């Protein structure tokens, strides 16, 4: 809100806007789009001072943008300013002389041809804008005010500046600075120092970006397989898992996994010792999963799409006790792993074959505790070589418990599982509900997936937003009828766009759609229901939600200090019970990502997620992108995704990509 000519639109085409309401109708939408929900400090000089005040008042009334401070410069408080003579009605020659006396024009410009014709209409409009502004005496803003004035200003004195104190419900400070009306030019350094000091104080006063989930009790002494045994004991005859070729009741699944667990014990499976699973998404995968846990060990899932070379690298890096696969999968293993001693093949009839062997009893298995390993999952390697994430039972138990409380199962629930199968398939089983295994070739075919969900009367499912977009594309209202049994859809794996949320609400109005943000090293972190969720101004994605129980989220700057709410920074989580141990056989990488928590001490750790995000005023987390994709530009660290997010807020921009351009 600077000087001069606050009311000017185009001085060469018309006289400008001389009405405050009309002027703000033009510029306020642009200001709101530029600031979005960011905290702002407003500065206005001369006529711009009253404009800045009125903008602040209107922004506060809307409530989306936090006005931290307003700096009014070179203008009296409106009610006392109106005692002065009108400048807008002066004849051209007098107005030109007054403008020159204030220092806006050099004297040698006064006689230049055409100067008056160009500059006087917008200047006259500026004065009319201010002179016509008559806020009621009780009108105030909540933000603090600072009034600046020139010691030798001929039209504004210190008393008139001090009257601005009546226009704020907070504090008001007055600074007089050597110079005339346009001291902003003659004393630029001093003015900038005052503004910088105010900005620094405002930054420090903002609430810090630390979100703390509620401290809740969960089964602190339980392991995953003990929770499964309880569920199987409570509902032995209920259907537990359903696949394309076979299904098990809880009693049958318990017995099959017990048998395989005994075979694993015979091969040396025990606490913190891993067994690899190289199987398609299937019922047998669930059997292998439970068997490894019952044998006291930890499972290492290897997706079937993993290239053979990568499989060999994983086995060489992890050195598991053995691999559970089928004969078709075992052929992809290195020769040293294809023998029966190092590979258990779950081909047809495997249960009968194992039952004939003399195997150790389950009582001989080592008994893991909550802090012993439950599994080791390999990262995708999108930001470097794949890493094995070592996750204890405690983290999964807390994560599952929280989801059970937040989204409790009904009596007749049926959950379909494929996406993030190693995490999701156990959730319904621990609550005595059936898991329906979606085949790998079905999950990527929207038509077949909808048929699967309809035929099995599925009530809940976790999907990626990409899968939902593909499934909804070109679908009409028949989707509502075909998926009438679905109660809950959980979205995970990427940000949820506003367009997708609106489409889901329209096509599935009966469904509760959940936006869930999780990290392999931390399990679930935040969650929200998209019903009623609102994006931040200018954003095309929904926030990731509020922090779950027993989890903390920090947004920190490069010095590991919390940023103020609303200011982006690196995302760190202190999940407490859900935090992984670290990366298998990678101490340096573990030390770089699993850091000491500077805010709690007592040996607590936090995880550097690698995401850039911020905490919103309502406490929700907004994720912007990966910090890994940063660039150095003229010595400064720049996160392109953060710049892209700002550009994409403009209504005329559909998508934005930021890259560097080499100097010519």
Q: Is 651 exposed, middle or buried (0-12, 13-18, 19+ CB in 10 A)?
A: exposed
523 within some domain: no
pLDDT at position 664:
35
Task: Please give the pLDDT value at position 220.
Answer: 92
**Separation CA 402–CA 409 (nearest Å):** 12
Q: How far apart are CA 269 and CA 321, in angstroms?
A: 6
Q: Quick one: pLDDT at residue 530? A: 86
> Other C-beta atoms within 10 Å of 39: how many?
19
DSSP 207: P
* Residue 555 counted as domain residue: no
- The model's pLDDT over 326-380, given as tens digits with 9 standing for 90+, comes to 999 999 999 989 987 899 999 999 999 999 999 999 999 999 999 999 999 998 5
Helices (H), 619-662: 640-647
Q: Do the domain assignments include residue 70? A: yes
pLDDT at 5: 38
Q: At what angle do helices 92-102 and 115-131 cross, to 10 degrees?
A: 80
pLDDT band at 474 (very low <50, low <70, confident <90, very high): low
pTM for the whole structure: 0.75
Q: How confident is the model at residue 107 (pLDDT cuts 50, 70, 90)?
A: low
At residue 539, the pLDDT reads 72
* 130 Cα distance to chain centroid: 43
654 inside domain: yes
Is position 528 within any domain?
A: no
Pairwise pLDDT comparison (170 vs 558), residue with the higher score: 170
Closest CA to 184 of 336, 320, 72: 72
- Model confidence at 475, pLDDT cuts 50, 70, 90, reads low
DSSP state of 363: G
The per-residue pLDDT for 28 is 86
Q: Quickly state the pLDDT bin for 477 (edges 50, 70, 90).
A: low
What CA–CA distance (Å, rounded) separates 315 from 300?
10
The whole-chain average pLDDT of the chain stands at: 86
Residue 136 scores a pLDDT above 70: yes
Q: How confident is the model at residue 383 (pLDDT cuts 50, 70, 90)?
A: very low
Point out which residues pair with 323 in neighbouring strands. Answer: 276, 343
Which of the four pLDDT bands, split at 50, 70 and 90, describes residue 628? Answer: low
Six-digit token pair at 404?
Answer: 């059970």
pLDDT recorded at residue 13 = 43
Q: What is the CATH number of the domain that holds 70?
A: 3.40.50.1820
Q: By the 8 A CB rule, do 429 and 225 touch?
A: no
Parent domain of 642: 629-664
Asked if the model's pLDDT at residue 267 lies above 80, the reply is yes
473 or 282, higher pLDDT: 282
Last residue of a domain, one of 205, 238, 268: 205
Between 431-435, 559-563, 565-569, the lowest mean confidence (pLDDT) is in: 565-569
> Does 132 score more than 90 pLDDT?
no
Tens digit of each residue's pLDDT (9 = 90 or more) over 188-230: 999 999 999 999 998 888 888 899 988 889 999 999 999 999 9
- Listed ranges 93-107, 426-440, 642-656; the one with the highest mean pLDDT: 426-440
Q: Is residue 633 in a domain?
A: yes
First CA to last CA distance, the chain: 36
CB proximity list for 482: less than 8 A, separation 6 or greater? 450, 453, 454
Least trusted range by pLDDT, from 26-40, 172-186, 362-376: 26-40
Cα torsion for 161, 166, 170, 176, to the nearest 10°? 10
pLDDT > 90? residue 495: no
Indicate the SS3 state at residue 53.
helix
Q: How far apart are CA 333 and CA 350, in angstroms?
A: 20
pLDDT at 618 over 90: no
The angle, 0 to 180 degrees and rounded to 10, between the axes of the packed helices 446-455 and 465-472 is 90
- At 635 the pLDDT is 46
Q: How confident is the model at residue 133 (pLDDT cuts 50, 70, 90)?
A: confident
3-state secondary structure 529-576: ECCCCCCCCCCCECCCEEECCCCEEEEECCCCCECECCCCEEEEEECH
**How far is residue 284's CA from residue 241's CA, in Å, rounded to a whole number?**
10
d(CA 201, CA 619): 22
Question: How far apart (Å, rounded) are the C-alpha atoms in residues 113 and 110?
Answer: 9
Q: What CA–CA distances, in Å, run from 470 to 65, 268, 453, 492, 605?
A: 35, 45, 15, 15, 39
Residue 420 domain flag: no
Q: To the nearest whole percent, how much of the chain has pLDDT over 90?
A: 54
Residue 317: inside a domain, yes or no?
no
How far from chain centre, in Å, is Cα 48?
Answer: 37
Predicted pLDDT at 1: 44
Total count of domains within the chain: 2
Structural Rg of the chain based on CA atoms: 33
Higher pLDDT, 255 or 7: 255
């Amino acid at each position: 809100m600077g000087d001069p000519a606050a009311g000017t639109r185009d001085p060469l085409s018309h006289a400008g806007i001389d009405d405050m309401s009309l002027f703000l109708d033009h510029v306020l939408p642009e200001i709101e789009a530029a600031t979005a929900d960011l905290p702002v400090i407003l500065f206005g000089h001369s006529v711009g001072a009253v404009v800045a005040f009125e903008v602040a008042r209107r922004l506060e009334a809307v409530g989306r943008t936090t006005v931290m401070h307003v700096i009014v410069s070179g203008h009296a408080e409106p009610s006392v300013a109106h005692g002065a003579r009108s400048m807008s009605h002066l004849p051209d020659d007098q107005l030109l002389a007054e403008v020159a006396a204030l220092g806006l024009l050099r004297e040698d410009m006064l006689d230049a041809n055409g100067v008056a014709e160009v500059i006087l209409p917008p200047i006259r409009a500026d004065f009319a804008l201010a002179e016509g502004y008559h806020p009621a005496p009780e009108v105030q803003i909540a933000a603090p005010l600072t009034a600046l004035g020139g010691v030798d200003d001929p039209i504004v004195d210190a008393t008139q500046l001090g009257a601005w104190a009546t226009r704020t419900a907070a504090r008001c400070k007055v600074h007089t600075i050597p110079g005339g009306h346009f001291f902003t030019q003659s004393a630029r350094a001093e003015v900038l120092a005052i503004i910088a000091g105010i900005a620094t104080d405002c930054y420090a006063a903002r609430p810090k970006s630390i979100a703390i989930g509620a401290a809740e009790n969960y089964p602190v002494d339980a392991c995953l397989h003990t929770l499964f045994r309880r569920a199987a004991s409570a509902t032995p005859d209920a259907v537990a898992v359903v696949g394309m070729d076979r299904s098990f009741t809880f009693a049958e699944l318990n017995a099959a996994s017990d048998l395989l667990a005994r075979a694993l014990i015979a091969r040396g499976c025990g606490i913190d010792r891993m067994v690899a699973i190289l199987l398609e998404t299937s019922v047998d995968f669930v059997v292998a999963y439970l068997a490894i846990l019952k044998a006291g060990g930890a499972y290492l899932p290897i997706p079937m799409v993993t290239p053979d070379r990568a499989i060999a690298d994983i086995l060489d890096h992890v050195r598991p006790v053995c691999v559970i696969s089928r004969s078709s999968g075992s052929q992809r293993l290195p020769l040293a792993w294809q023998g029966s001693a190092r590979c258990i093949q779950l081909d047809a009839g495997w249960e009968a074959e194992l039952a004939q062997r003399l195997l150790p009893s389950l009582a001989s298995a080592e008994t893991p505790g909550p802090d012993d390993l439950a599994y080791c999952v390999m990262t995708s390697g999108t930001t470097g070589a794949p890493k094995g994430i070592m996750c204890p039972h405690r983290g999964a138990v807390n994560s599952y418990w929280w989801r059970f409380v937040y989204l409790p199962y009904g009596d007749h629930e049926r959950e379909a599982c494929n996406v993030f199968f190693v995490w999701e398939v156990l959730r319904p089983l621990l609550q005595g509900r059936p898991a329906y295994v979606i085949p790998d070739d079905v999950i990527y075919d929207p038509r077949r997936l909808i048929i699967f969900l309809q035929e099995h009367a599925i009530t809940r499912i976790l999907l990626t937003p990409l899968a939902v977009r593909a499934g909804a594309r070109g679908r009409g209202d028949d989707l509502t009828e075909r998926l009438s049994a679905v109660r809950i859809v959980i979205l995970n794996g990427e940000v949820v766009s506003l367009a997708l949320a609106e489409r889901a609400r329209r096509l599935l109005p009966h469904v509760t759609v959940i936006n869930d943000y999780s990290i392999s090293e931390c399990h679930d972190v935040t969650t929200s229901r998209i019903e009623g969720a609102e994006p931040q101004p200018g954003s095309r994605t929904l926030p990731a939600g509020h922090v779950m129980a027993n989890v903390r989220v920090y947004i920190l700057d490069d010095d590991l200090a919390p940023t103020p709410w609303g200011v982006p920074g690196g995302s760190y989580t202190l999940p407490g019970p859900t935090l992984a141990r670290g990366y298998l056989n990678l101490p340096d990488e573990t030390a770089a990502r699993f850091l000491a928590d500077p805010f709690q001490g007592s040996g607590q750790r936090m995880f550097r997620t690698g995401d850039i995000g911020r905490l919103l005023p309502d406490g929700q987390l907004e994720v912007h992108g990966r910090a890994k994709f940063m660039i150095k530009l003229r010595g400064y660290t720049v996160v392109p995704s953060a710049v892209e997010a700002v550009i994409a807020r403009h209504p005329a921009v559909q998508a934005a990509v930021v890259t560097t351009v080499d100097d010519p």
